[in-house]
Amino acid sequence: MSFKAAIIGRPNVGKSTLFNRLVGRKLALVDDTPGVTRDRRVHAAKLYDLAFEVIDTAGFEDAPAATLPGRMRAQTEIAIDEADVIFFVVDAKAGLMPDDRTFADIVRRSGKPVVLVANKAEARGAQGGLLEAWELGLGEPVPVSAEHGVGMPDLRDAVVGALGEERTLGKDDEDDDETLAASEVLIGEDIADPEAEAPAYDETKPLRIAVVGRPNAGKSTLINALIGEERLLTGPEAGITRDSISVDWDWRGRQMKLFDTAGMRRKSKVQEKLEKLSVADGLRAIRFAEIVVIVLDATIPFEKQDLQIADLIIREGRAPVIAFNKWDLIDNPQQVLAELREKTERLLPQVRGIQAVPVSAETGRGLDKLMDAVVRTHKVWNSRVSTGRLNRWLEGILAHHPPPAVAGRRLKVKYITQAKTRPPGFVVSCSRPEAMPQSYVRYLVNNLREAFDMPGVPIRIALRTSDNPFANRARKKS
Q: Report the binding-site residues for GTP.
A: 9-16, 56-60, 119-122, 213-220, 260-264, 325-328
In whole angstroms, how far apart are CA 144 and each of 90, 339, 425? 10, 59, 50
Phi-psi region of 147 (alpha: psi -120 to 50; beta: other; left: phi over 0): alpha
* Pairing outcome for strands 356-358 and 291-297: unpaired
> Is the peptide bond prior to 423 cis by the omega test (within 30 degrees of 0)?
yes
DSSP letters, 293-362, are: EEEEETTS---HHHHHHHHHHHHTT-EEEEEEE-GGG-SSHHHHHHHHHHHHHHH-GGGTT--EEE-BTT
Q: Which alpha helices (DSSP H) does 122-185 contain, by range?
A: 126-132, 152-163, 165-169, 176-182
**Residues at the annotated binding site?**
9-16, 56-60, 119-122, 213-220, 260-264, 325-328
Between CA 38 and CA 244 the distance in angstroms is 11
Instruction: Give residues with Cβ within 8 angstroms of 450, minimum separation 6.
Output: none
Residue 182 · residue 174 · CB < 8 Å: no
Between CA 478 and CA 475 the distance in angstroms is 5
Q: Which alpha helices (DSSP H) does 173-218 contain, by range?
A: 176-182
Residue 145: DSSP 8-state: B
CB burial class (10 A; 0-12, 13-18, 19+) of residue 119? buried
Short-list 170, 142, 166, 140, CA closest to 155: 142
Burial 245-257 (b: 16+ CB within 10 A, else e): bbbebebeebebb
Amino acid at 326: K
Between CA 54 and CA 83 the distance in angstroms is 9
